[in-house]
């Protein structure tokens, strides 16, 4: 009996060891595709300084033709964000098309709107639109991002597929020992620390809480970014006893902190759809977030989380007071958050992605 040929996919994006949501998605794809697909990975950047990232990007342009000749992929799947990530991927898309390989572009950039609309002149916009339009398929993280690509970049609607970021709900399970009774409220923020993520508003919100509540909460921030600046603000407000700043943690250490938490706090000014949010909801953390990017398509106010306005530390503070005082609401929102995350389970995600891949199968 003749064997069915396996689909070959070349995935291009940051090294899977790079800190961030894109590499997390790449890892989930690489480890969960079915055995009907041969998938390989070409890294375009590694953690390091700007010069090292540029050198890594240029090297990926040189190596790509050899990888195409060797692996003979049916489709090239390119992950991109904004700024340097976009410019690194434009030559990779062009090289793939020179070798007559169809390209799927997978958009992740939380700041792509700001980058495209406000930082790019006419010529750069033309280059980016051409880059996007030459792809066979564009994967967007939400319907709001799909609308952006249609309205501002001139992409035909049928070329855009919405695939919300996945989560491994089999691994990220709410801990059985978590209690919602009257005890210290554990709050956590995971990811990059800084203005875009609303980190400073979070600290100010903690500072403005009632004294009695302050004595009964603990706030952990994990990740990279403006770590030292955040520590200085915490110190200036004398919050060292209740606010703790960690660096970038291993998956195991991060899970330990998340397992103790009740609330996931991320009042960002812009987003794609944060992996940290979907992961936190899978663990049963109650999200307190802003209605930016794809977030309002996942988090519904007072149904499975709390929505606050970007930049409003007072509203963040009030939300934390509500969750501290009403433990029944805290428990209910936690259960609903977990149920919502199951809609984004990686097995469902991979099924949809493989349908896209198989459309490019060559007999």
pTM: 0.93
Cβ burial of 190 (10 Å; 0-12, 13-18, 19+) is buried
Report pLDDT digits (tens) over 127-162.
Answer: 999 999 999 999 999 999 999 999 999 999 999 999
| Per-residue model confidence (pLDDT) at position 19 | 87
Length of the chain measured in residues: 363
In the chain the domains, ranked by start, together with CATH numbers, are 7-166+345-358 (3.40.50.2000), 185-344 (3.40.50.2000)
Give CA–CA dist 96/100, Å, rounded. Answer: 6
| Per-residue model confidence (pLDDT) at position 323 | 97
Q: Is 210 helix (H, G, I), strand (E, B) or coil?
A: coil
Nearest to 230 by CA among 263, 257, 260, 192: 192
Give me the residues of the chain with pLDDT under 50, please: 1, 362-363
């Amino acid at each position: 009996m003749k064997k069915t040929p396996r689909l070959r996919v070349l995935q291009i994006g940051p090294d899977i060891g790079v800190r961030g949501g894109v590499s997390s998605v790449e890892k989930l794809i690489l480890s969960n595709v079915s055995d009907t697909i041969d998938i390989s990975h070409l890294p375009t950047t590694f953690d390091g300084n700007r010069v090292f990232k540029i050198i890594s990007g240029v090297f990926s342009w040189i190596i790509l033709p050899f990888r195409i000749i060797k692996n003979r992929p049916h489709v090239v799947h390119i992950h991109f964000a904004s700024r340097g990530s976009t410019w690194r991927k434009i030559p990779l898309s062009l090289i793939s098309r020179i070798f007559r390989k169809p390209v799927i572009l997978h958009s992740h950039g939380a700041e792509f709107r700001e980058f495209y609309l406000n930082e790019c002149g006419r010529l750069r916009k033309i280059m980016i639109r051409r880059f996007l339009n030459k792809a066979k398929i564009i994967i967007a993280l939400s319907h709001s991002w799909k609308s952006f690509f249609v309205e501002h970049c001139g992409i035909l609607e049928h070329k855009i597929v919405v695939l919300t970021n996945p989560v491994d709900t089999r691994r990220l399970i709410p801990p059985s020992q978590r209690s919602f009774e009257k005890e210290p409220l554990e709050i956590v923020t995971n990811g990059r620390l800084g203005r875009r993520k609303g980190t400073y508003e979070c600290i100010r919100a903690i500072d403005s809480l009632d004294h009695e509540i302050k004595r009964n909460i603990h706030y952990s921030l994990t990740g990279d970014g403006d770590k030292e600046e955040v520590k200085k603000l915490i110190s200036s407000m004398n919050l060292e006893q209740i606010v703790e700043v960690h660096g970038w943690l291993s998956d195991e250490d991060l899970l330990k902190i998340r397992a103790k938490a009740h609330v996931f706090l991320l009042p960002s000014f812009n987003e794609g759809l944060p992996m940290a949010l979907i992961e936190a909801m899978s663990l049963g953390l109650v999200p307190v977030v802003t209605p930016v990017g794809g977030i309002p398509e996942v988090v519904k106010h007072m149904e499975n989380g709390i929505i606050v306005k970007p930049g409003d530390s007072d509203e963040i503070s009030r939300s934390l007071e509500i969750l501290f005082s009403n433990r029944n609401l805290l428990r209910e929102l936690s259960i609903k958050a977990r149920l919502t995350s199951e809609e984004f389970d990686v097995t469902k995600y991979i099924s949809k992605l493989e349908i896209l891949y198989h459309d490019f199968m060559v007999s």
